[in-house]
Amino acid sequence: QAQLLESGGGLVQPGGSLRLSCAASGVIRNIYRMGWYRQAPGKQRDLVALITNGVSTNYADSVKGRFTCSTDNAKITVYLEMNRLKPDDTAVYYCYMTMREVGKSTSDYWGQGTQVTVSS
């Protein structure tokens, strides 16, 4: 079973930057979507950024111009560069991939989540 391993969360002051990484393990045949969601306390999990078929990227309106999502398909890794962070960005960030492992059907995969806290 493929797994997603996240890294890069932490505490940062408003206006600061963080970079999240998420690498997939396992024998992967195809990757269709890679991206990030986040969930703040007491709220639902919302889309942050999603790259589909390596071509189109969708961002939540609240992060446009501040966050950049990118991938390294050779390493099966997705990144989230977060700049000009605000307290409202505080949440647990989850990486997400839709992919097909060798010998299996296409499925959705989630990382374990990494805490991002923006506070002075």
pLDDT tens readout for residues 40-53 = 999 999 999 999 99
Alpha-carbon distance 96 to 43, whole Å? 18
Q: How many helices (H) and strands (E) does the chain have?
A: 0, 11
Q: Compute the residue count for the chain.
A: 120
Residue 63 has pLDDT above 90, yes or no: yes
Contact 45, 110 (CB under 8 A): no
For the stretch 3-60, pLDDT in tens is 999 999 999 999 999 999 999 998 899 999 999 999 999 999 999 999 999 889 999 9
Backbone φ, ψ for residue 57 (5° rounding) = -125, 130
What is the band of 113 on the pLDDT scale with cuts at 50, 70, 90?
very high
Distance from CA of residue 3 to its chain's centroid?
A: 14
